[in-house]
């Protein structure tokens, strides 16, 4: 692995004191040590690939940035809006874009533009918590229990994605179903815009898509996953090396 030696050395220096008990409790490190492949890793149960700490820190930074960027976007186009598609962007703090025009249009088909979204209050804390979890995972990358924290952070992010997707999809379902029965065009069929992709709503084609913030969050989760996966790859290879 690129840069393995130098990174391993860093981890080794910092966790020198913890080395003896761990070496005693686990058989693998001694084997690695005996193989002489990497002394630093040998003393560490959870130290792993060199980019890992960096990956966790990067994940933390990406997630923190995501809290301030648009998370989800909607683009609406219709024949009578040539070259001027309407846009909505959901950030963790507000809904922005062509809100005025879209609320005006929605009255015709009785869509209740959400004026109360309690989940938005939890969004910034949730994303910042994720970032904090990634940060801690990065800080603890050299420590024994760091891997549990990392796995925990990853699981949190997956949970966050699942919950967000569920809430968003519920909101989108409501938009298309929980309509004002007294709306002028109530005869229009109910609809459910997908999380990602196009939906035909009246004369509009509505595209839902993850925005920059969601992209960063996904990238952050990806970085954490990479860090975790790298550990798994690294281990067997070292063992193989020891066996060989």
Query: Rounded to whole angstroms, what are the CA distances from 205 to 90, 93, 142?
Result: 18, 26, 50
Q: Which is nearer to other proteins, 91 or 238 (CB)?
A: 91
Distance of CA 1 to the CA centre of its chain: 26
Minimum gap (Å) between residue 216 Cβ and other proteins: 21
State the residues that interact with other proteins by CB under 8 A.
81, 84, 93-96, 98-101, 103-108, 110-118, 120, 180, 183-185
CA angle, residues 179, 180, 186, in degrees to nearest 5 = 80
Phi, psi dihedrals of residue 97, rounded to the nearest 5°: 105, -145
Q: Is there a contact between 106 and 113 (Cβ–Cβ < 8 Å)?
A: yes
Q: Is there a contact between 222 and 63 (Cβ–Cβ < 8 Å)?
A: no
Q: Which is nearer to other proteins, 64 or 76 (CB)?
A: 76
Q: Is there a contact between 197 and 208 (Cβ–Cβ < 8 Å)?
A: yes
Q: Which is nearer to other proteins, 19 or 183 (CB)?
A: 183
Q: Is there a contact between 65 and 216 (Cβ–Cβ < 8 Å)?
A: yes
How close are the terminal C-alpha atoms of the chain, in Å? Answer: 18
Minimum gap (Å) between residue 193 Cβ and other proteins: 17
Q: Which is nearer to other proteins, 85 or 169 (CB)?
A: 85
Q: Which is nearer to other proteins, 95 or 156 (CB)?
A: 95
Minimum gap (Å) between residue 179 Cβ and other proteins: 9
Please tell me what DSSP assigns to residue 26: -
Minimum gap (Å) between residue 110 Cβ and other proteins: 7
Minimum gap (Å) between residue 167 Cβ and other proteins: 14
Q: Which is nearer to other proteins, 93 or 177 (CB)?
A: 93
Minimum gap (Å) between residue 143 Cβ and other proteins: 41
């Amino acid at each position: 692995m690129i840069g393995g030696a130098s990174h391993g050395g860093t981890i080794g220096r910092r966790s020198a004191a913890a080395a003896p008990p761990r070496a005693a409790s686990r058989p693998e490190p001694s084997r690695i040590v005996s193989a002489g492949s990497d002394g630093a890793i040998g003393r560490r149960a959870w130290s792993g690939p060199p980019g890992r700490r960096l990956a966790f820190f990067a994940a933390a930074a990406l997630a923190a940035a995501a809290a301030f960027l648009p998370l989800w976007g909607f683009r609406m186009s219709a024949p009578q809006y040539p070259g001027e598609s309407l846009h909505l962007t959901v950030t963790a703090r507000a809904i922005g874009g062509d809100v005025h025009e879209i609320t005006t249009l929605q009255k015709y088909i009785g869509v209740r533009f959400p004026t109360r979204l309690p989940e938005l209050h939890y969004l910034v804390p949730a994303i910042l918590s994720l970032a904090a979890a990634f940060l801690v995972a990065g800080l603890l990358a050299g420590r024994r229990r760091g891997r549990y924290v990392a796995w925990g952070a990853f699981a949190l992010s997956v949970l966050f994605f699942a919950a967000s997707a569920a809430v968003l999809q519920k909101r989108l379902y409501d938009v298309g179903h929980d309509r004002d029965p007294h709306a002028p065009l109530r005869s229009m069929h109910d609809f459910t815009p997908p999380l990602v992709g196009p939906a035909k709503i009246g004369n509009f084609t509505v595209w839902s898509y993850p925005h920059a913030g969601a992209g960063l969050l996904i990238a952050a989760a990806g970085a954490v996953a990479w860090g975790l996966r790298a550990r798994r790859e690294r281990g067997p290879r070292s063992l193989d090396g020891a066996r060989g």
